[in-house]
Amino acid sequence: MISSLKTDLTKSHSYDTDKVLDVLKSSHNGLSQQEAQKRLDEYGLNKLPEKKDVHPVLKFLKHFHNILIYVLLVAAVITALLGHWIDTWIILVVVVINGLIGYLQEGKAEKALDAVKKMLSSHALVKRDGQMGEIEAEKLVPGDIVQLKSGDRVPADIRLLSVKSFSVNEASLTGESESVQKGIEPVGGSASLGDRFSMAYSGTLVSSGLATGVVTATGAYTELGKINRMLSEVKSITTPLLRQIEKFGRKLTLIILLFAAITFMAGYFIGGYSLEEIFLAVVGLSVAAIPEGLPAVITIILAIGVQRMAKRNSIIRLLPGVETLGSVSVICSDKTGTLTKSEMTVTHVQMPDKMVEISGIGYKPSGHFSVGNKRIDPVKDEMMELLLNGCLLCNDSRLREENDSWTVEGAPTEGALICLANKGGIDSLENSRRLDTIPFESEHKFMATLNETGTEENPSRVIFLKGAPERVLERCQYQGFGDERRDIDTQWWKQRCEEMASKGLRLLAVACKDSEMNRESIDMKAVQDDFSLLAIIGLIDPPREEAISAVQECREAGIRVKMITGDHALTAVSVAKQLGIGDGKTVISGSELDKIDDSQLPDIAERVDVFARVSPEHKLRLVQALQKKGIVTAMTGDGVNDAPALKRADIGIAMGIKGTEASKEAAVMVLADDNFTSIVNAVEEGRTVYDNLRKSLLFILPTNGGQGLIIITAIILGTILPITPAQILWVNMVTAVTLALALAFEPMEKDAMKKPPRDPKSPLISGPMLGRIIYVSVLLNLSSFGLFYFFHNFQPDLGVDYARTIAVNTLIIGEIFYLFNSRFLKGSSLNLKAIKATKPVWITVLLVSLFQLLFTYFPVFQNLFGTSGVRAIHWPLMIASGVVLFIMVELEKALLRRRKSVKNV
């Protein structure tokens, strides 16, 4: 019965009240207690379904499902069997730390479900057996008659039966920032969620007035329930970086295993090594080749990126999201508050004899009035002054200044009218007072006030009328004021309204008429006719000035910006045109999206840049359509309606100021200032993070490659290992990681925002990068193994520990010089600026130098790692090998630049 009932009521907004009650088998007296209990047993509680949690232990163990981790665990087992416990514990510590990081980051998006559930009301005022009483909202059933008042959270989806000045804030559900005036008249069956004026939806807030309605859906069947279901079904996709690292890890593991197998066979069958010796050598090779410090380096680089972004108002909730921003090629942005100021502003006033333009945006009363290119003083124009008086008197809101910030207490539209009057030089009306009011209601769509104006010697009374142009026009017989008053040209005014609306302006009409001096109140009869139209006022939520330049910067960076808004199509196109989004003409509405097949949508989503009147399902479909085209997509949002799309997007961006908890929990990034410019700043940081990550890889991997080649070379030549497994882990975890971290602090390269977004399918290691890794690995092997071979064979009296200490220090010195090469992926390091470097570079160089002195001369380290104090006369030899390596790498970079291949690095 639930499914059949739901089918009957999917278009309840289009049914008249009698039909809805008939379908629900209810009445204005409500259900009986017996019938309500029967329906509760049948339909279930009015709450969202709970999701079964995965056991924390299983969640933790899942983070060890990685092929590189498996290889490290096998290496740990082998070293333990061979009794090399230091190697075993170091490997295990690295593995556990990596798993903990992943575990702590997991599951944050699922908190969005809890945030959605918190939006449900806890109690409801319900009529049962003809008596009104309060019950737990969980016990509401379809057919219940519910009463709503200002401040209530709507407890279920409700078809309104009666209203009085009733408005609802649906921003969390539709994205529309202004409260929506509700009525009881049916609307079209295909009306979008934001246009269903006869409905009040679960989780939204009553802004004003009173209403009575009948429950049409509860729990999972409400619009909020649909979003909750989408959110639970939507799977977060892996970030491009994690996909690349996973692919890179598989390839690296196969290469390591292949070389380990070849080395084992060569050493055992050809080199004559014992089984234990060759096992130890192969473990050493595996440990040398696997970049154990890579997870830590990646985590720290991303964490540094998080800190940088936080300083630029972008809060990252999931570390890999930092890098994802760098590969974004499409940003789907909401309009209100993100691309615009979310402050309604009067920009045009159409009067009977002229069009007046008003400068200045937002609620700050700063700007001027002009006709054509000529400024005018509005208070010197009698009719304009009367209009501005009406804007203040026919108004229930007020502006407030606090720390040079202007906010409106009340309706945004009314705040804009107050600002208009203030700009015109009218701040208050001391000689005027309101006597009576007809408040705005959705049925009549206007507000009227009776006011006493003038002076004590010459008092007068006037009625001001403000509202929807079509409702005001039908009450006007005249236009103008005083000597300029004449019969109204209704057709002319309708044409002006169409012209203004085509520019995306929201329209209000203001009219007035004189009243008898003895009138103390007004009713609907008093405002039926005989008004004189003063003006049609055009308002818009203006674009942020900084957003215009940010959109331009995105275009230069190869990033397309798409506006996806719940606002009307004309308004969306107008704002998009001012921002430079789209072609200024093409817009697709939510109702049009419903008619587009999923197979056609990817091409349309890629081509069109402006979408209006969209629902939560539309946003999710658009994100999925763009991802089908291989486009890395960022999606902004602030309401619970945005949560599924935010979770699905490659990078979900929630608003920190006006955003709901559901949207913040579903998103990867939260904007502290709700400003689109902060997204562009975050993209800059994301690209910098990725560049620095690649620099770190380009630095770390030759270290592992060089160590691996040292061991392979030793096995081929049949000599003892120049570096022990413990010494290898020292190099990997202490020195290489420390030096690599210096690259995390490198500033953004000059052309970072001039390049197109990187292809998410491109490999983490490009061809030129791989060539350099192999090249530097060979250079490190030649210098380190070469000096070991020399001291071991030609100065045997110094001992094998001495030769190994020389080999390790030569390797480290080579890395220090190579660090300066790695600061620039393609640029030369043979200049003063490059050698001067950054503060973190010199700090890490000094730290590593100190570590190596301890490693070489401190007795505890000598016993732990098998090292020996090096004579001062031999240090210049090792330093010279580092200088040679630095020069050789710069020659390779110069050769690449000449071949113009470095652009792929």
Enumerate the active-site residues: 334
**Smallest Cα–Cα separation from 576: which of 626, 503, 499?**
503
DSSP summary character for residue 748: P
Helices 767-794 and 676-717, packing angle to 10 deg: 40
Q: 821 to each of 747, 835, 849, 871, 886, how far by Cα in Å?
A: 15, 9, 18, 28, 7
Q: How many CB atoms lie within 10 A of CB 288?
A: 28
For tokens 């001992």, the residue is: 799
CB-CB contact of 682 with 652 (8 Å)? no
Question: Tokens in use for 698?
Answer: 């380009």
| CB crowding 441-456: b at 16 or more within 10 Å, else e | bbebebbbbbbbbeee
How many Å is the Cα radius of gyration of the chain?
Answer: 36
Please tell me the distance from the alpha carbon of residue 50 to that of residue 116, in angstroms, as a whole number.
Answer: 12
**Beta carbons within 8 Å of 473's beta carbon, 6+ residues apart:** 488, 490, 493, 494, 509, 533
Beta-carbon contacts of 883 under 8 Å, excluding residues fewer than 6 positions away, are: 817
DSSP H helices in 356-448: 382-393, 412-423
Amino acid 26 reads S
| Cα separation of the two ends of the chain | 63
**762 torsion bin: left (phi>0), alpha (psi -120 to 50), beta (else):** beta
| Strands 355-358 vs 369-371: parallel, antiparallel or unpaired | antiparallel
Selection from 134, 110, 106 nearest residue 122 by Cα: 134
d(CA 228, CA 450): 48
Place of tokens 């057709």: 491
Any residues with CB less than 8 A from the CB of 640 and at least 6 apart, and which? Answer: 115, 116, 119, 172, 173, 203, 224, 227, 660, 662, 663
Q: Which helix (H) or strand (E) covers residue 506, if one does?
A: strand 506-515
Q: 108: helix, coil or strand?
A: coil
- Among left, alpha and beta (phi > 0; psi -120 to 50; other), residue 777 is alpha
What are all long-range contacts of 301-306, with beta carbons under 8 Å and residues at least 24 apart? 301/689, 301/692, 301/693, 301/696, 301/741, 301/743, 301/744, 302/689, 304/689, 304/744, 304/745, 305/685, 305/686, 305/688, 305/689
| Helical residues (DSSP H) of 795-874, grouped into ranges | 800-822, 832-836, 839-857, 859-865
The answer to whether 79 and 290 are in contact (CB under 8 A) is: no
With residues binned 3-state (H G I as helix, E B as strand, rest as coil), the percentages for the chain, rounded to 5, are 50, 15, 30
- State the DSSP code for 232: H
Neighbours of 372 (CB within 10 A): 10
Element (H, E) at 571: helix 569-579
Burial 6-16 (b: 16+ CB within 10 A, else e): eeebeebbbbe
Instruction: Check: CB of residue 286 under 8 Å from CB of residue 256.
Output: yes
Q: From 62, 76, 97, 96, select the one nearest 290 (Cα to Cα).
A: 76
Per-residue burial over 328-338, b = 16 or more CB atoms within 10 Å of its CB, e = otherwise = bbbbbbbbbbb
Distances (CA, A) of 50 to 220, 228, 229: 11, 10, 10
H/E stretch holding 534 reads strand 531-540
- Residues, the chain, total? 905
